[in-house]
């Protein structure tokens, strides 16, 4: 009773909110009726920042884009992006008031690469053909990168929080996969329906497939990471089975191939193939493709396999069909338009997020497909690399390559270091490996699509960055503590 007496004003306030909320709800004023929830989230964000961050990770797969309900007028993922925006403001204010991020964080190559990327986004937003769109894009990038890095780096200096991050994203994805499979089953798992049954959580099957592939390796890492109890073991096996089924019925050829690619990356890591050899192989393959592109194109043109077939192997073959597969042909059309845009503005590009507004006149009439439009209103460049090239010029492409290179180079080197010098940190090592392989599936997708303007991809990708930096800082602190002791 004493607690009630001491907090009577709080109870009175809660009752008033509940009463007002009920009245507004029954008056069909749904936006104002959400006020108590907004205040609760604000309280958690300010006083339980780490909890707010982890809740956001859980809600990421379950977030909904308001474009679905506002005829495209409002492009905002709720509730994740408003929470991230609030956390961004909070983190900036805290850092200004009392700097709490170490010098090592600011000097880290991943931080520097992202810093250069943001700086170039800002510069090219000034020169943009549509500054309003570009600066909005910059703001969106800031509310993804700042809170995820600032909070994540501190959070991931404790091993348990890394496991929580992977668990929460995977649980959210498992819920979405179950929803999608149940809904899809009502249509007999048809391929056409498989392109949209994940709505409203995912816009289409391609981003859904990319998220499922990332989640798959998170679950595998959690499964092998530690000696779990039988119940946890069974839970992870169930999640793994659901995710594999979800991956198959996503009908996303890029997602299937990305899992195979991740397996190849694991083999390179497992047998310690040196980066200089991988770089040499990559450059050689690129050179051969450029030299013999005409012959390769002729061979690909012989592939008439359509992706409408039901056979799994034939679906994979259709990924190389550039003769009659409209999806593949349209992707080539977008890539050619992006390269043509780059030739027109090679240094500053047309401005961040302007591709969709500018690519129409750069389409070659010979490349147009049955799904092309003369107005060029069908979205982005379908590449995390060619998109920045067209929108931010050569330095935009360089910034993206530098970021991806820093992510994988430091992630893999850290894994090797953990294996050699910290043999007792098996769980941490395997969780890191799972994260690296998960990122390899995404950036394989990045050759064919670009989703880093969505929370579904940005939170796990920038979360992986924070994880690598956080682990490195944690190990440095442990070494320094041992020297003191």
pLDDT of residue 320: 46
Q: Are strands 77-78 and 64-65 parallel, antiparallel or unpaired?
A: antiparallel
pLDDT of residue 108: 96
How far, in Å, CA of 74 to CA of 87, rounded? 21
Crossing angle (nearest 10°) for helices 455-484 and 49-59: 140
With contact defined as beta carbons under 8 Å apart, do 243 and 212 qualify?
yes
How far, in Å, CA of 151 to CA of 149, rounded? 6
Closest by CA to 393, choosing from 7, 127, 182, 171, is 127
The residue extents of the domains of the chain are 60-279+383-484
How far, in Å, CA of 197 to CA of 258, rounded? 22
Place of tokens 């995390």: 384
What is residue 55's three-state secondary structure?
helix
Burial class for 118, CB neighbours closer than 10 Å (0-12, 13-18, 19+): middle
CA angle 465, 468, 471 (to 5 degrees): 140
How far, in Å, CA of 447 to CA of 465, rounded? 19
How far, in Å, CA of 126 to CA of 60, rounded? 31
**pLDDT tens profile 136-173:** 999 999 999 999 999 999 999 999 999 999 999 999 99
Residue 64: φ, ψ to 5°? -125, 135
- Going from the first residue of the chain to its last (485 residues), give the mean pLDDT of each consecutive group of 10, the final group possibly shorter: 50 58 53 59 75 92 83 78 91 89 93 97 96 95 96 94 96 96 94 91 93 97 86 94 96 90 90 72 63 56 50 49 61 86 94 92 77 65 90 95 93 93 92 96 88 94 97 91 74
**pLDDT tens profile 196-254:** 999 999 988 999 999 999 999 999 999 998 778 889 999 999 999 999 999 999 998 88
The DSSP H or E segment spanning 58 is helix 49-59
How far, in Å, CA of 400 to CA of 268, rounded? 23
421: tokens are: 């010098």
Torsion of CA 368, 337, 380, 133, to 10 degrees: -130
pLDDT of residue 311: 53
What is residue 263's three-state secondary structure?
helix
Closest by CA to 348, choosing from 115, 118, 113, 128, is 128
* The residue count for the chain: 485
How far, in Å, CA of 144 to CA of 81, rounded? 8
How far, in Å, CA of 405 to CA of 269, rounded? 15
Place of tokens 């991809």: 457
Place of tokens 């499979």: 181
How far, in Å, CA of 245 to CA of 247, rounded? 5
The DSSP H or E segment spanning 414 is helix 386-421
What is residue 321's three-state secondary structure?
coil
How far, in Å, CA of 239 to CA of 223, rounded? 10
CA angle 415, 421, 423 (to 5 degrees): 80
pLDDT of residue 98: 86
CA distances to 149, 421, 473 from 485, rounded to whole Å, are 30, 19, 18
pLDDT of residue 316: 47
Specify the pTM: 0.86
**In three state form, how does the secondary structure of 215-258 look?**
HHHHHHHHHHHCCCCHHHHHHHHHHHHHHHHHHHCCCCHHHHHH
């Amino acid at each position: 009773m004493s607690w009630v007496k001491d907090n009577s004003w709080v109870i009175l306030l809660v009752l008033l909110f509940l009463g007002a909320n009920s009245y507004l709800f029954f008056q069909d004023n749904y936006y104002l009726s959400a006020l108590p929830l907004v205040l609760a989230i604000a309280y958690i964000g300010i006083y339980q920042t780490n909890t707010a961050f982890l809740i956001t990770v859980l809600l990421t797969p379950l977030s909904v884009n308001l474009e679905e309900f506002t005829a495209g007028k409002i492009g905002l993922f709720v509730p994740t992006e408003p929470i991230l925006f609030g956390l961004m403001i909070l983190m900036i204010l805290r850092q200004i008031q009392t700097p709490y991020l170490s010098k090592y964080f600011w000097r880290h190559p991943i931080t520097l690469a992202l810093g250069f990327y943001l700086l170039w986004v800002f510069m090219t937003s000034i020169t943009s053909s549509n500054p309003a769109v570009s600066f909005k894009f910059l703001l969106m990038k800031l509310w993804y990168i700042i809170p995820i890095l600032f909070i994540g780096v501190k959070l991931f200096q404790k091993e348990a929080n890394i496991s929580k991050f992977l668990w929460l994203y995977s649980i959210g994805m498992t819920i979405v996969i179950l929803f999608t499979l149940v809904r899809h089953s009502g249509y007999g798992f048809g391929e056409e329906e498989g392109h949209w049954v994940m709505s409203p959580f995912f816009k289409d099957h391609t981003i859904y497939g990319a998220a499922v592939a990332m989640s798959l390796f998170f679950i595998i890492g959690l499964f092998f990471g530690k000696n779990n109890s039988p119940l946890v073991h069974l839970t992870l096996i169930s999640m793994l089975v659901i995710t594999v089924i979800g991956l198959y019925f996503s009908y996303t050829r890029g997602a299937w191939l990305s899992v195979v690619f991740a397996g190849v990356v694991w083999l390179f890591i497992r047998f310690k193939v040196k980066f200089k050899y991988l770089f040499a192989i990559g450059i050689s393959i690129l050179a051969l493709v450029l030299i013999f592109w005409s012959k390769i194109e002729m061979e690909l043109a012989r592939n008439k396999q359509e992706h409408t077939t039901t056979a799994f192997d034939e679906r994979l073959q259709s990924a190389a069909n550039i003769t009659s597969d409209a999806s593949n042909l349209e992707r080539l059309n977008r890539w050619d338009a992006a390269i043509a845009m780059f030739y027109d503005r090679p240094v500053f590009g047309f401005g961040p997020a302007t591709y969709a507004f500018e690519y129409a006149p750069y389409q070659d009439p010979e490349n147009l497909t049955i799904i092309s439009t003369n107005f060029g209103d069908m979205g982005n460049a379908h590449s995390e690399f060619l998109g920045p090239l067209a929108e931010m010029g050569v330095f935009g492409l360089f910034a993206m390559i530098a970021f991806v290179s820093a992510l994988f180079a430091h992630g893999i080197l850290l894994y090797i270091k953990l294996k050699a010098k910290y043999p007792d940190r098996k769980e941490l090592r395997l969780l890191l490996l799972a994260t690296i392989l998960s990122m390899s599936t995404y950036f394989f997708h990045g050759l064919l699509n670009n989703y880093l303007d969505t929370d579904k991809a940005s939170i796990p990708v920038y979360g992986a960055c924070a994880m690598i930096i956080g682990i490195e800082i944690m190990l440095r602190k442990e070494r320094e503590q041992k020297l003191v002791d």
